[in-house]
Amino acid sequence: MVAKDTSGVNILGSWSTTDSSVQVIPCNGTFSNGITQTSSTNKSQIQATWSSPSNVPQGNIVIEATIVQAYKKFYVNCFNITLTPQLGDDHVFACERLSDDTIHVQRFVNLDGYSPPVLVTAASNYGGIFQVSRVAQNNGVIYCEFTLSNFTNTLDRRTKRSISLLSQNKQYQILTAIGNLDSSNSLIQHFTANVLTQMIQLNQSETIMTNNTQGSTNNKTILLRAHGIIMLFLWMLFVPAGILLARYFRQSWSKLKLCAIPVWYIMHQIVMNFAVVMTLVSFVLILIYKRGVWTSQSLSREFAHSIMGLIVVSTATLQSIMTIFRCRPDHPRRFIFNYVHRIVGISTLILSSATILLATLLSRYDSVKMKPWRILVVWWSMEFVIWIGIECLEIFYRKYWSRFDTINLVQPMQTNSLHDGGQLMPINARPSSGNIFKERFKTFLFILHILVACGLSIVLTVYTSQIS
């Protein structure tokens, strides 16, 4: 149990207790700022005293309690020493609590962020001789102490290393990871990873403190992940698909109707209204996660992301409201709505892409080895090819293919006055070979967009599900 400000990030104050069933513990490197129980016995109440800090922040103080998954669930708490804040190519030190309550400390090297760490043996030379000096468990607090000594910079030239040796002359970033052990007490993939602001140098004594209750995914973290995953799929897959339907398939599918309404229009409305509703749902999720507290301007990227995200939510909602009050297609001022609707829609899509990019650059993604922004670059590149490809195809068809198509221009014309904006269309026009090729190629590019956007959204979803 800890006390936090309304942002839910900063732990405040200190605890004291005379209750034998409660003990004071350190959280995030600060002494006495958390409490926990000393045994697994059922309790109806506990007694503890919280003292506020000297500089009490404005707003409410939130007492946050974390319930472990199960008392007999055994955790492993690892921390990595690395030059960069990403998992992979790290020196790993694992503090393990086994099923028989014994404590082990082991040293590994993580040669690849997606492969199991390799145990370092006495014959290995990865910088410094590793020696365990103390392990203990006291009232649920586990102590793992070790030393690294006899550093050497010499290395057999015939030996190729994929990971740099530890040195006393460099500062290292600390990454912590918490996970479970399997039935054979072997490491399995961690479920949380955090980048500490603390930097260490190996020529002096250092203390690293973490809390294993952080390993359980609480409801707040689920809200954060759900917000990110929903936004990824909406603005990478659904919204671009809805715009493509309206811009490039209204003429292609003009004869396909359901209850006298063009199918392209029905699909466009369903996709875009679904996107707006889910965008609002995602916005509510992040409001609940933040408890309604605005992001501080000192966190420049987070603040910019919140501002841009609010604009995206507002303009997306405005789009739906505008469609409710639009005038009829044959109205003399209908062109005003058409231009405003298109400009706002495209601008919102572009702004959403920039907002997602900022999200992938937040510190929460620092522990991900594969930079998520690279996935966005791939998506942007593919979307550019698809959109430009369809646009060039339309232009080429209008300018050149029409010369080779024999079409009777003197034929009755009708206006689809209900949904296609008053554009003229020949009745019973026979499709030419060029038109068939154009429509098939457009459909191919549209399907390609769905496959690429869906695949890359899933990849980013995997990364988002790992943030804590």
Same domain, 99 and 48: no
Confidence of residue 282 (pLDDT cuts 50, 70, 90): very high
Same domain, 267 and 392: yes
Instruction: Give the domain-ending residue among 34, 64, 94.
Output: 64
Of 65-74, 411-420, 445-454, highest mean pLDDT: 445-454
Same domain, 204 and 242: no
Pairing state of beta strands 30-37 and 22-27? Answer: antiparallel
**CATH number reported for the structural domain that contains residue 423 in this entry:** 1.20.120
Those residues with Cβ within 8 angstroms of residue 160's Cβ, 6 or more apart along the chain or in another chain:
none
Same domain, 229 and 210: no
Query: 104 lies in a domain?
Result: yes
Those residues with Cβ within 8 angstroms of residue 369's Cβ, 6 or more apart along the chain or in another chain:
86, 87, 88, 113, 114
pLDDT at 6: 66
pLDDT at 384: 92
Query: 69 lies in a domain?
Result: no
- pLDDT over 70, % of the chain: 73
Q: Give 254-258 contacts, CB < 8 A, sequence gap 24+.
A: 254/416, 254/420, 254/425
Question: What's the mean pLDDT in 268-297?
Answer: 89
Q: Which comes out higher in pLDDT, residue 196 or 53?
A: 53
Of 153-157, 215-219, 435-439, highest mean pLDDT: 435-439
Domains held by the chain: number: 3
Is the pLDDT at 158 greater than 60? The verdict is no
Q: Give 80-83 contacts, CB < 8 A, sequence gap 24+.
A: 80/110, 80/174, 80/175, 80/176, 80/177, 81/166, 81/172, 81/173, 81/174, 81/200, 81/202, 82/172, 82/173, 82/175, 83/164, 83/170, 83/172, 83/173
Instruction: Give the domain-ending residue among 64, 85, 104.
Output: 64
Same domain, 162 and 252: no
Same domain, 101 and 210: yes
pLDDT at 89: 65
Confidence of residue 401 (pLDDT cuts 50, 70, 90): low
> In whole numbers, what is the pLDDT of the chain averaged over residues?
76
Residues 57 and 154 sit within 8 Å (Cβ to Cβ): no
**Domain boundaries, position 202:** 75-215
Query: 25 lies in a domain?
Result: yes
Cα–Cα distance measured from residue 97 to residue 99, given in angstroms and rounded to the nearest whole number:
7
Q: Which comes out higher in pLDDT, residue 176 or 417?
A: 176
pLDDT at 430: 47
Q: Give 314-320 contacts, CB < 8 A, sequence gap 24+.
A: 315/344, 315/347, 315/348, 315/351, 316/275, 316/276, 316/279, 316/348, 317/276, 317/279, 317/280, 318/344, 319/272, 319/276, 319/344, 319/345, 319/348, 320/272, 320/273, 320/276
pLDDT at 394: 82
pLDDT at 220: 72
Confidence of residue 113 (pLDDT cuts 50, 70, 90): low
Same domain, 41 and 93: no
pLDDT at 131: 84
Smallest CA-to-CA distance from 264 within 421, 124, 154 is with 421
Query: 51 lies in a domain?
Result: yes
Query: 70 lies in a domain?
Result: no
Of 10-24, 125-139, 343-357, 423-437, highest mean pLDDT: 343-357
pLDDT at 162: 62
Confidence of residue 265 (pLDDT cuts 50, 70, 90): confident
Cα–Cα distance measured from residue 122 to residue 27, given in angstroms and rounded to the nearest whole number:
33
Same domain, 99 and 193: yes
Query: 225 lies in a domain?
Result: yes
pLDDT at 192: 65
Which tokens belong to 112? 């690849």
Cα–Cα distance measured from residue 276 to residue 340, given in angstroms and rounded to the nearest whole number:
18
pLDDT at 349: 93
- pLDDT over 90, % of the chain: 19
Same domain, 202 and 244: no
> Could you read off the pLDDT of 216-264 as tens digits, one per residue?
455 677 888 899 999 999 999 999 999 998 888 887 777 788 888 888 8
Which tokens belong to 44? 């109806």
Same domain, 79 and 192: yes
Confidence of residue 294 (pLDDT cuts 50, 70, 90): confident
Is the pLDDT at 285 greater than 50? The verdict is yes
Confidence of residue 30 (pLDDT cuts 50, 70, 90): low
Q: Is 72 exposed, middle or buried (0-12, 13-18, 19+ CB in 10 A)?
A: exposed
Instruction: Give the domain-ending residue among 215, 235, 263.
Output: 215
pLDDT at 216: 46
Cα–Cα distance measured from residue 3 to residue 16, given in angstroms and rounded to the nearest whole number:
13
Same domain, 100 and 43: no
> Could you read off the pLDDT of 351-386 as tens digits, one per residue?
999 999 988 887 666 555 567 888 889 999 999 999
Same domain, 191 and 241: no
Confidence of residue 314 (pLDDT cuts 50, 70, 90): very high
Confidence of residue 172 (pLDDT cuts 50, 70, 90): confident
pLDDT at 419: 46
Is the pLDDT at 71 greater than 60? The verdict is no
